[in-house]
Amino acid sequence: MVSRSYEMSFEEFQNQARLYVIGALEPEETEAFELARNQLGKPAEDFISECYSMHEAFALSLRPAKSSDALKDRLMSMVRERRKS
C-alpha cells in the first residue's frame, strides 16, 4: 500500500505519466501515480492527455511489415475513442 503522506513532484509525475500511458507501471506505482494525479488536478490531466496524443501519433507512424485492415480499424477506433474523452 502507498503511503498517503508521500507527495510526488510534478516533474516525477511527468516521468511516471509517460510510463503510465504505455502500461509500464507496476501496480504499486500505478496506485501512487493515480493518487498524485488526483492531487495535481488539471495540470496532471492535461499532461496525461498530451502523453496519450503523442503515444497515438507514434503508433500511427509505425508501418507494420504486413498491413492488416482489421488492425488498422482497431487502431483508428482506439484513436477516435480517446479523442472523445
pLDDT in tens, 9-65: 999 999 999 999 989 999 999 999 999 999 999 999 999 999 999 988 887 777 766
Q: Which residue has the cell 509500464?
A: 24
The answer to whether residue 3 is domain-embedded is no
The answer to whether residue 80 is domain-embedded is yes
The residue among 51, 49, 58, 54 whose CA lies nearest residue 83 is 49
The answer to whether residue 54 is domain-embedded is yes
The range of the structural domain enclosing residue 54 comes to 10-84
The answer to whether residue 47 is domain-embedded is yes
The answer to whether residue 2 is domain-embedded is no
The answer to whether residue 67 is domain-embedded is yes
Give Cβ neighbours of residue 7 (< 8 Å, ≥ 6 apart): 36, 39
The answer to whether residue 59 is domain-embedded is yes
Give CA–CA dist 74/79, Å, rounded.
9
What is the predicted pLDDT for the residue at 2? 47
Q: How confident is the model at residue 4 (pLDDT cuts 50, 70, 90)?
A: low
Q: What's the number of domains the chain is made of?
A: 1
